[in-house]
Amino acid sequence: MKQKKIIEWIKQDEMRMQALQAAQTLNLNDWCLAAGFVRNLVWDRLHGLAQNTPLNDIDVIYFNPANLSPEADREYEQRLNDLIPLPWSVKNQARMHLKYGREPYTSSSDAISYWVEVETAIGVKLDANSQLELVAPLGIESLFGYTISANPKHGQPDVLLARAREKGWIRRWPGLSVKI
């Protein structure tokens, strides 16, 4: 039921659907639009906000161990900007383990399962039939629980506190509470 609700909210959001369609044209391996792209929309709807919270960036993630070049990400960002000017941020998750000194990830879903907040570890993509599909390796329950929860797999709850403060999540969505 909650998964269907998220999918319906995304379908109703013209910008998000356009962003998904643009990203789909790149034909990336194991891709999705993740983090605030989904999380913010859910929190906006739960808080009854009339206007969507502007996105600082649109996280396009994919998994390609054959090309770990950051230049490839920049090329994809340029291609997306040529289609629709949005604040794109493209990252190949096959190299992101290096940033944190972890073992290599096995997929995009595996990579986002290590993100700082449980509620941020969510994405959405268009499948081969252009149907919306959620990617939520840590589930979606906490996203509806009005919490900002530390992900034990990330292992640095202080990072969550700093992010919540810097991003102003409690000011924007006052019903939320931080859960370490």
- Name the phi and psi angles at 29, rounded to 5: -75, 130
H-assigned helices in 12-135: 14-24, 36-46, 70-83, 97-100, 108-112
Cβ atoms of residues 165 and 176 within 8 Å: no
Task: Indicate if the pLDDT at residue 75 is higher than 90.
Answer: yes
Band (pLDDT 50/70/90 cuts) for residue 157 is confident
Residue 180 pLDDT greater than 90, yes or no? no
In the chain, beta strands by DSSP E: 32-34, 58-62, 88-92, 123-126, 132-135, 147-149, 177-179
pLDDT at 171: 95
Extract the tokens encoding 179: 């859960």
- Within 10 Å of residue 144's Cβ, how many Cβ atoms? 15
User: What's the whole-number mean pLDDT along residues 140-158?
Assistant: 93
> Where residue 156 falls among pLDDT bands split at 50, 70, 90?
confident
Q: Does pTM surpass 0.75?
A: yes
pLDDT score, position 28: 98
Residue type, 112: I
What is the average pLDDT across 139-166? 93
Question: Per-residue pLDDT averaged across 87-99, rounded?
Answer: 96
Q: In the predicted model, is pLDDT for residue 155 greater than 90?
A: no
At which residue do the structure tokens 């595996």 appear? Answer: 110
